[in-house]
């Protein structure tokens, strides 16, 4: 942070600018107003102005500020588009300074933290995700609890694909096996799940014991995958975010090839609007390294000439509620001194900021989206009716 | 047709090739089999091989062949992809010959016929479309008659946009005013409809008398359109097919500009899969001159950075049923000597081939699609729930 400190003389009046800009969204520093923000370290102002969203998130991790409603705070910032409302001459200075500061972001300390997400292990996620162990958006229209909403999501996928005992389903990115288990139990379908995570696979196998479910540690591009088919149905729930733009077409081609003549694919993925950045630097650094969210057009281009698009369901508003429920589980576990939550305060602040700022982003509706697409190999006859 | 006649010596064995190819789809020439096809003129074989789908349609208009189930005939041809199954050396000859023959298609006789569609007048369409006068795909899941299914489609649009007395709706391509009337009557919304057809506008005004509906003869690009807004809701039902690829973005920009802050747009349009031609030459010539159907990507590119995509509903299978119902009305009117149907036999054969081959194309599912998209200016909060 030394370099930021050096700049503070240059960035005269940064506190006033930050205060005035936040006030546009009814955010008051130092208490009062609907969303009070408490600044513990005066370097906060320079850091936010020079590093933008990245500095905002990282300075929270560093304990430079606090807020009781981070979700509402970030929501208001997005909603009022505060970044664009920083005075114009400031924005020019900021973008120049940000370029100077980009090298800071490759510091080894941060890179170290980046792996934390995937090294957290099954127990940590069990504490946060609840009974269903489902790490993707739930479906809330007829649910009142997280577990119910996750179950409804998994059932919705089964209904959209009209699963039955005659089906052999490929689950690309099967996670801890929640979908495989529910689909096999309730519809009689046979399920082959693949994941690149050995701990997930071990959990999933245990979770699906006694059911017609096979779990493999395997990349979706592995040649063995095609040999296990053809599959009457393919699902991919919350894995496409890790595929990467340049591999979308490959993903779709493999799905098409792995599918039987009357096959269908259900893709459940976060998407983004075209005016929203592919991924925020803070998220890329601390939460989802190499995660990329597709736009509408990136998806349609990958589908074109391979599938008939049967339905495109959007319910990003439900991700807000899902993330808030995960955060509630997380905070409760902390209060209860649950040993499954890492003790590091910096980790806890990072995780809280991730869950709540993502909730805010889905709440704002103009940035991140949640999409379920149903695609078919040659068109469902006579007509596809998508349940909701 | 003289030039086709000249080629028949060159195209030796064309009858055998056509017979063998059709047999692959269980189509038997001269009776027998599930779909008998009766050839009245031996030049049919050369014409189909050299002119493909164009010659197939035009030779039907000329009375060279007949079939009791043109819809099933075309469906089977599409389903079995017969064009690609013509022997390879033939296909090479055919594509060369087709290029030679393309000039034939600019014959003034055909160009004359092209205008027939739009010159047919309100009475003709009333005979075909039934009580609702709605010339777009109906919605059949809970309907048993065409009128019911059309009403359900219009109601579905009202529900998807959550219309109420506080709304001011812009209807781009309002046709004979069916949507404007139903929306105003049942939801209390105020509707401004625009059409480029003066006869349609006259009919629509009469149809909507006494309701808060205004109808203008106006292009969607007219500056007056924006002055009549902003509109809380915009609908465009079955008009986008005439917009043209290069204008999609303009259409969307105008819709966005004409819309209030929480505005929504419902776009109801025929689409096509990427492996399907933009428009068949026969259709372009005789039915929809300059009609172009968008692909998924052509649509998403036009939406990107302007709207949040809330829902993408696909129900092309319902267009099969709609077209069959229109054809049934048309054939009944002919049997009853309804004076609203033009007397020309060539026109009647053209119209029948249009309705039934379109039904076939929707039945095949891999070519033409019917899409309803719901787009919003800044995302519906907290979440958009699309009715079905």
- ∠ at Cα A5 (A59, A14), nearest 5°? 75
B117 contacts B288 by C-beta, under 8 angstroms: yes
Closest CA to B114 of B105, B101, B102, B125: B105
Domain regions of chain B by residue span: 2-88, 106-376
Residue A109 exposed, middle or buried by CB count within 10 Å (0-12, 13-18, 19+)? exposed
Q: What is the pLDDT of residue A100?
A: 54
Is the sign of the CA dihedral B316, B321, B326, B330 positive or negative? Answer: positive
Q: What is the pLDDT of residue A332?
A: 98
Distance separating alpha carbons of residues B104 and B1, to the nearest angstrom: 9
How many secondary structure helices (H) and strands (E) does chain A include?
18, 10
* CB A18 within 8 Å of CB A45: yes
Residue B101 confidence (pLDDT): 52
| pLDDT at residue A111 tops 50 | no
| Contact check, Cβ <8 Å, B304/A274 | yes
DSSP per residue over A263-279, as a string?
Answer: EEEEEEEEEE-TTS-SS
Q: What is the mean pLDDT of residues B249-278?
A: 95
Residue-wise pLDDT for A198-249, tens only, equals 999 999 999 999 999 999 999 999 999 999 999 999 999 999 999 999 999 9
What pLDDT, on the 0 to 100 scale, is given for residue A92?
64
Q: How far apart are CA B55 and CA B235, in angstroms?
A: 37
Tokens of B76: 């089977």
pLDDT interval class at A193 (50, 70, 90): very high
Chain B: nearest CA to A305, how far in angstroms? 5
Instruction: For residues B189 and B264, give the distance between their C-alpha atoms in angstroms, rounded to a whole number.
Output: 14
Half-sphere exposure of A368 (CA within 13 A, CB side): 24
Report whether pLDDT(B117) > 80. Answer: no
pLDDT tens readout for residues B333-388: 999 999 999 999 999 999 999 999 999 999 999 999 999 999 999 999 999 999 99
Which of the residue ranges B90-99, B220-229, B297-306 would you say has the lowest mean pLDDT?
B90-99
Please state the rounded mean pLDDT for residues A354-365: 97
> Under DSSP, is residue B191 helix (H, G, I), strand (E, B) or coil?
strand
Cβ atoms B68, B32 nearer than 8 A:
no
Round to whole Å and give the CA distance between B275 and B366.
9
Nearest chain A alpha carbon to B299: A297
Nearest to B140 by CA among B151, B131, B132, B130: B151
In this structure, are residues B271 and B42 in contact, taking their beta carbons and an 8 Å threshold?
Answer: no
Which contacts qualify for B341-346: CB closer than 8 Å, 24 or more apart? B341/B124, B341/B127, B342/B116, B342/B120, B342/B124, B345/B63, B346/B61, B346/B62, B346/B63, B346/B113
User: In the structure, what pLDDT confidence band is assigned to residue B113 with cuts at 50, 70 and 90?
Assistant: very low
Residue with tokens 């300059």: B290
DSSP string, A208-277: TTTSSEEEEE--TT-HHHHHT--EEEEEEES-GGGT-GGGHHHHHHHHHHTEEEEEEEEEEEEEE-TTS-
Asked if residues B281 and B291 have their Cβ atoms less than 8 Å apart, the reply is no
Q: Do A297 and B310 touch (CB under 8 A)?
A: no
Cα–Cα distance, B33 to B365 (Å, whole number): 24
Q: CB-based burial of residue B267 (10 Å sphere; 0-12 exposed, 13-18 middle, 19+ buried)? A: buried
Question: Is the Cβ pair B379, A385 closer than 8 Å?
Answer: no
Shortest Cα distance, chain B CAs vs residue A190, angstroms: 28
Give the separation between CA B373 and CA B231, rounded to whole angstroms: 18
Name the strands in the sheet holding A65-67, side by side, starting at the edge strand that comes first in the sequence: A27-29, A35-39, A65-67
DSSP state of B209: T
Strand partners, A193: A171, A215
Contact A382 B369 (CB under 8 A): no
Which residues fall within 8 angstroms of residue A146, CB to CB, at 6 or more apart? Answer: A130, A132, A138, A322, A325, A326, A329
DSSP B140: -
**Residue B52 confidence (pLDDT):** 86
Q: State the residue for tokens 């070519």.
A: B367
Q: Describe chain A by its helix, strand, coil percentages, rounded to 5.
A: 50, 15, 35
Residue A98 — very low, low, confident or very high, per pLDDT cuts 50/70/90? low
pLDDT tens-place string over residues B140-183: 999 999 999 999 999 999 999 999 999 999 999 999 999 999 99
- The string of DSSP codes covering A335-368 is HTT-TTS---HHHHHHHHHHHHHHHHHHHH-SSE
Spell out which residues of chain A touch residue B297, defining contact as CB-CB under 8 Å.
297, 300-301, 304
For chains A and B, count residue pairs whose Cβ atoms are closer than 8 Å.
117
Q: Supply the ipTM of this predicted assembly.
A: 0.92
pLDDT band at A112 (very low <50, low <70, confident <90, very high): very low
Whether residues B388 and A385 touch (CB distance < 8 A) is answered with yes
* Residues 6 or more apart whose Cβ sits within 8 Å of residue B338: B127
Please tell me the predicted confidence (pLDDT) of residue B1. Answer: 41
Helical (H) or strand (E) element with B217: strand B213-217
* pLDDT tens-digit map of A162-177: 999 999 999 999 999 9
pLDDT of amino acid A88: 66
- Cβ pair A141:B384 closer than 8 A: no
Q: Which of A312, A362, A153 is nearest to B311 (CA)?
A: A312
Question: Closest Cα partner for B171 from B131, B137, B204?
Answer: B204
Nearest to B379 among A366, A382, A386 (CB): A366
Question: In chain B, whose CA is at the least distance from the CA of A319?
Answer: B383
At CB < 8 Å, which residues of chain A contact B?
140-141, 273-275, 295-297, 299-301, 303-305, 308-318, 320, 363-366, 369, 378-388
Q: What percent of chain B has pLDDT over 70?
A: 89
Task: Please enumerate in sequence order all residues whose Cβ is within 8 A of that of B167, keeping only pairs 6 or more positions apart, or say none.
Answer: B161, B187, B189, B190, B232, B233
Residues 6+ apart with CB under 8 A from A296: A271, A274, B300, B303, B304, B309
Contact A300 B303 (CB under 8 A): no
Average pLDDT for chain B: 90
Strand, coil or helix: B169: strand
Fold of A106-376: Rossmann fold (3.40.50)
% of residues, chain A, pLDDT over 90: 78
pLDDT(A280) > 60:
yes
Q: Residue A242: name the closest of A196, A210, A204, A280 by CA.
A: A196
The pLDDT of residue B86: 76
Q: pLDDT for A297-322, tens place per residue?
A: 999 999 999 999 999 999 999 999 99
Best mutation target, B269, B321, B364, B365, to test chain A (most A CBs within 10 A): B365
What value does the mean pLDDT take over residues A66-76? Answer: 96
A275 or A337: whose pLDDT is higher?
Answer: A337
Long-range CB pairs of A341-345 (<8 Å, 24+ gap) are A341/A124, A341/A127, A342/A116, A342/A120, A342/A124, A345/A63
Chain A residues within an 8 Å CB radius of B384 = 314-315, 317
Chain B residues touching A297 at Cβ < 8 A: 297, 300-301, 304
Burial B337-358 (b: 16+ CB within 10 A, else e): eeeebeeeeebbbbbbbbbbbb
**Which residues of chain A neighbour B364 with C-beta distances below 8 Å?**
379
Strand partners, B193: B171, B215
Beta pairing class for B27-29 and A259-272: unpaired
Distance CA B178, CA B146 (A): 14
**Record: contact A388-B385, CB cut-off 8 A:** yes
Asked whether the predicted pLDDT for residue A349 surpasses 70, the reply is: yes
- Is A381 close to B317, i.e. CB distance below 8 A? yes
Dihedral sign from CA coordinates of A329, A333, A339, A345: positive
Residue of chain A minimizing CA distance to B376: A366
* Cis geometry, peptide bond prior to residue A207 (ω within 30 degrees of 0): no
What is residue A87's predicted lDDT score, i.e. its pLDDT? Answer: 72
pLDDT higher than 80, residue B196: yes
Report whether pLDDT(B106) > 90.
no
| pLDDT-wise least confident of A153-162, B28-37, B307-316 | B28-37
Chain B residues contacting A, CB < 8 Å? 140-141, 273-275, 295-297, 299-301, 303-305, 308-318, 320, 363-366, 369, 376, 378-388
User: For residue B3, is pLDDT > 80?
Assistant: no
Q: How far apart are CA A306 and CA A378, in angstroms?
A: 9
Furthest C-alpha separation in chain A: 71
Pairing mode, strands A259-272 and A368-376: antiparallel
pLDDT at B110 over 80: no
Mutate to test the interface with A, among B79, B276, B379 (most CBs of A within 10 A): B379
Query: Which string of DSSP letters, residue by residue, matches B225-254?
Result: HHHT--EEEEEEES-GGGT-GGGHHHHHHH
């Amino acid at each position: 942070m030394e370099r930021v400190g050096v700049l503070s003389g240059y960035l005269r009046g940064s506190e006033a600018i930050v205060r005035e800009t936040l006030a546009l969204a009814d955010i008051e520093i130092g208490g009062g107003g609907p969303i009070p923000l408490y600044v513990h370290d005066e370097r906060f102002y320079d850091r936010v102005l020079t590093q933008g969203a990245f500095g905002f998130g990282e300075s929270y991790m560093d304990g430079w500020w606090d807020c009781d409603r981070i979700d509402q705070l970030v929501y208001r910032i997005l909603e009022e588009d505060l970044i664009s409302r920083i005075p114009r001459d400031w924005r020019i200075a900021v973008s120049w300074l940000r370029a100077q500061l980009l090298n800071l972001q490759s510091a080894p300390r941060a890179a170290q933290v980046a792996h934390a997400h995937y090294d957290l292990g099954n127990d940590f996620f069990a504490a946060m995700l609840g009974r269903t162990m489902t790490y993707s958006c739930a479906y809330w229209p007829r649910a009142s609890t997280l577990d119910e909403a996750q179950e409804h999501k998994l059932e919705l996928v089964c209904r959209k694909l009209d699963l039955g005992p005659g089906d052999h389903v490929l689950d690309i990115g099967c996670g801890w096996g929640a979908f495989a288990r529910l689909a096999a139990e309730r519809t009689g379908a046979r399920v082959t799940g693949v994941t690149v995570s050995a701990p997930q696979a071990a959990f999933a196998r245990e979770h699906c014991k006694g059911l017609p479910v096979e779990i493999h540690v395997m990349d979706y591009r592995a040649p063995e995958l095609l040999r296990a088919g053809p599959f009457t149905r393919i699902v991919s729930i919350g894995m496409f975010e890790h595929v990467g733009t340049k591999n979308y077409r490959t993903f779709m081609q493999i799905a098409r090839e792995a599918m039987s003549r009357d096959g269908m694919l259900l893709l459940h993925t976060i998407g983004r609007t075209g005016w929203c950045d592919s991924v925020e630097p803070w998220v890329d650094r601390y939460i989802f390294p190499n995660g990329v969210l597709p736009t509408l057009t990136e998806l349609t281009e990958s589908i074109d000439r391979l599938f008939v698009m049967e339905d495109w369901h959007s319910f990003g508003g439900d991700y807000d509620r899902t993330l808030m429920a995960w955060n509630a589980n997380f905070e409760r576990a902390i209060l209860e001194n649950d040993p499954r939550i890492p003790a590091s305060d910096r980790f806890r602040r990072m995780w809280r900021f991730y869950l709540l700022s993502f909730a805010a982003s889905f709440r704002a509706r103009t940035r991140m989206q949640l999409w379920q697409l149903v695609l078919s190999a040659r068109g469902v006859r006579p007509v596809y009716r998508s349940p909701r």
